[in-house]
Amino acid sequence: METLKPTVLIVEDDPDLLEDLMDFLDARGFSVRGAKSAQEMHRALAENQPDLIVMDILLPDDNGIALTRELRQEGNMGILMLTCMNDTQHMLDSLQSGADAYLLKDSELSVVEANLRSIMRRLPKWSTSTPLPEDDPTTLSPTDGTAWHYDTITWTLTAPTHLSVKLNGREHRFLLTLCQTPGKTVERPICLDALGKKDTVTNRRSMDVFVRRLKNKIEPTVNLSFPLDTVYGVGYAFTAPIVVE
């Protein structure tokens, strides 16, 4: 049976951040729409009310706090404020207007996801009787004690299922970096350097999206969960035996 996906509307006028959030949450099992203004938000809400809203405060045509107060009078969706406003007054105003949580825009994407899932569990629709996407019993799991194989000449990764997938240049450099110390966490700045990127807030977000896209590319092809763990706030680790040839 197909798992019901929670719906999220992201109201954010920064196109890069909006794209990163949409890609990441889509990869994590959410059904995602985006709006770059209050006007676009109202059009989206007229079509379908989401379970969750990620709301910016400083929008080009309105204020996210006022919009949150308005939304609270109209529905019971969960609301997460995601803003660059790092001060107590904006946080208090947001929470008093009806927001369920308040995060800064430099938060890890995984923290945004964790807050959304926490809010979901307080919504009637997503009670404990309704499985969340990460609890889906059909999710693939790795085969313990069986090695993966990576051919560094052809950039081909072969899973214990004997199915293979070919990587591109960025994916190749990233996997080689992890395979130098299998089972151990490689810090995010080292991974970013392998991809030719500096350790900035924007690039850290892009790195999280890159990892999710890589897993989504590999897993359906090899019919197995890719044993790449994200150590939140630290880096990434390849957690299964792998033979590099």
CA 224 to chain centre: 20
pLDDT at 189 over 80: yes
What's the chain's average pLDDT?
A: 85
pLDDT at 207: 86
pLDDT at 181: 82
At 86-120, the pLDDT tens digits run: 999 999 999 999 999 999 988 878 788 888 988 98
DSSP secondary structure letter of residue 182: T
Same domain, 163 and 46: no
Residue 96 falls inside a structural domain: yes
Contact 68, 94 (CB under 8 A): yes
Range of the domain at 219: 148-244
Closest CA to 183 of 229, 152, 234: 229
Residue 77 falls inside a structural domain: yes
Mean pLDDT of 216-236: 85
How much of the chain exceeds pLDDT 90, in percent?
Answer: 46
Greater model confidence, 237 or 233: 237
Same domain, 185 and 131: no
Residue 143 falls inside a structural domain: no
Query: Do the bridges between strand 186-187 and strand 235-238 make them parallel or antiparallel, or are there none, so unpaired?
Result: antiparallel
Lowest mean pLDDT among 1-5, 21-25, 238-242: 1-5
Last residue of a domain, one of 107, 135, 163: 135
Mean pLDDT of 115-128: 82
Same domain, 116 and 22: yes
Give the CATH number of the domain where residue 92 resides: 3.40.50.2300
Whether the CA torsion 184, 190, 196, 198 is positive or negative: it is positive
Same domain, 44 and 99: yes
Q: Which strand (E) or helix (H) includes residue 230?
A: strand 228-231
Residue 1 falls inside a structural domain: no
Residue 140 falls inside a structural domain: no
Same domain, 128 and 178: no
Residue 142 falls inside a structural domain: no
Same domain, 112 and 198: no
Contact 116, 103 (CB under 8 A): no
Mean pLDDT of 21-30: 84
pLDDT at 97: 94
pLDDT at 67 over 70: yes
Q: Where are the alpha helices (DSSP H) in the chain?
A: 15-27, 38-47, 64-72, 88-97, 109-120, 169-179, 188-194, 201-222
Last residue of a domain, one of 97, 112, 135: 135
pLDDT at 200 over 60: yes
Whether the CA torsion 33, 133, 81, 21 is positive or negative: it is negative
Contact 191, 236 (CB under 8 A): yes
Last residue of a domain, one of 135, 164, 195: 135
Q: Residue 233 corresponds to which amino acid?
A: G
